[in-house]
């Protein structure tokens, strides 16, 4: 399966859902998200347990274990510049068939990507990204799944919510119908399939991974 996850360095990555993934024993997952988190924060905990086979991300520098797994051939990593990565996810979410860009042209990022010439200029074709499951993190949700975010913890979560076939939102607070101001809703409930209450950071897993 392909799993899209929200978050930036762990901020905005749903901690409870990551712990559930770990506890479930699921493995051989293809991951798409901004980065590899830290060894003990965000999706990094899942990566460090060697449960992912590949990762599409903008960087993995904050997780040296992910870097070692890539070096050892145990984790296939595709790097995509952050803006390009988010636009690829957005394209998948809104039904576009990718886009053209000059970013990355003439570099390693251009390997195996089609080149399109328009008016004498060459562009790289960037394919859209979608996933089977998307996990996102929000501050509040109502029973319909409308989401409100907390400042920068919003990051790429709205894009992830659109690009997955099934999206699960972990939220700090579930409020009653009509409690959310329509002007503060960032992700409409039409994109959300399930809402779960957050149990916060699982310090058990943090301790175990740090200890290892």
Quote the tokens at residue 12: 């905005």
Please state whether 7 falls in left (phi above 0), alpha (psi between -120 and 50) or beta. left
CATH superfamily of 2-211: Glutaconate Coenzyme A-transferase (3.40.1080.10)
Q: Report the share of the chain in percent with pLDDT over 90.
A: 90
Segment 75-119, tens digit of pLDDT: 999 999 999 999 999 999 999 999 999 999 989 889 999 999 999
Which long-range CB contacts under 8 A does 74-82 form with residues at least 24 apart? 74/50, 75/47, 75/50, 78/54, 79/109, 80/56, 80/109, 80/126, 81/109, 82/34, 82/58
Q: How confident is the model at residue 205 (pLDDT cuts 50, 70, 90)?
A: very low
Mean pLDDT in the chain?
93
The b/e string for 5-38 (b: 16+ C-beta within 10 A; e otherwise) is: bbbbbbbbbbbbbbbbbbeeeeeebbbbbbbbbb
- What pLDDT score does 200 carry? 61
DSSP-based three-state secondary structure for 101: strand
- What pLDDT score does 190 carry? 95
Largest CA distance in the chain: 58
Alpha helices in the chain (DSSP H): 15-24, 44-48, 64-71, 82-94, 157-163, 203-211
- What pLDDT score does 211 carry? 40
Q: How confident is the model at residue 206 (pLDDT cuts 50, 70, 90)?
A: very low
How long is the chain? Answer: 212
- What pLDDT score does 210 carry? 39
Nearest CA to 131 out of 44, 204, 52 is that of 52
Segment 47-69, tens digit of pLDDT: 999 999 999 999 999 999 999 99
Q: Is the pLDDT of residue 188 over 70?
A: yes
CA atoms within 13 Å, Cβ hemisphere of 70: 17
Segment 107-147, tens digit of pLDDT: 988 999 999 999 999 999 999 999 999 999 999 999 999 99
Q: Is the pLDDT of residue 168 over 80?
A: yes
Q: How many CB atoms lie within 10 A of CB 146?
A: 25
Q: Is the pLDDT of residue 207 over 70?
A: no
- What pLDDT score does 199 carry? 84
Segment 15-54, tens digit of pLDDT: 999 999 999 999 999 999 999 999 999 999 999 999 999 9
Looking at residues 145-171, what average pLDDT do you find? 97
């Amino acid at each position: 399966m392909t799993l899209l996850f929200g978050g930036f360095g762990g901020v905005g990555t749903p901690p409870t859902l990551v712990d559930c993934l770990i506890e479930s024993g699921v493995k051989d997952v293809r991951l798409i998200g901004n980065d590899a988190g830290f060894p003990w924060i965000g999706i990094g905990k899942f990566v460090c347990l060697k449960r992912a086979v590949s990762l599409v991300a903008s960087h993995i520098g904050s997780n040296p274990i992910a870097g070692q797994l890539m070096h050892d051939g145990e984790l296939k990593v595709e790097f995509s510049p952050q803006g390009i990565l988010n636009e690829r996810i957005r394209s998948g979410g809104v039904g576009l068939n990718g886009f053209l860009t000059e970013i990355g042209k003439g570099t390693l990022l251009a390997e195996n990507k089609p080149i399109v010439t328009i008016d004498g200029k060459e562009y790289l074709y960037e394919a859209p990204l979608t996933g089977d499951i998307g996990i996102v993190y929000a501050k509040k949700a109502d029973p319909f799944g409308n989401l409100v975010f907390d400042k920068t913890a919003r990051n790429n979560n709205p894009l992830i919510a659109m690009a997955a076939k099934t999206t699960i939102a972990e939220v700090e607070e579930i409020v009653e119908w009509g409690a959310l101001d329509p002007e503060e809703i960032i992700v409409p409930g039409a994109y959300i399939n399930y809402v779960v209450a957050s149990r916060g950071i699982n310090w058990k897993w943090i301790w175990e991974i740090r200890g290892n």
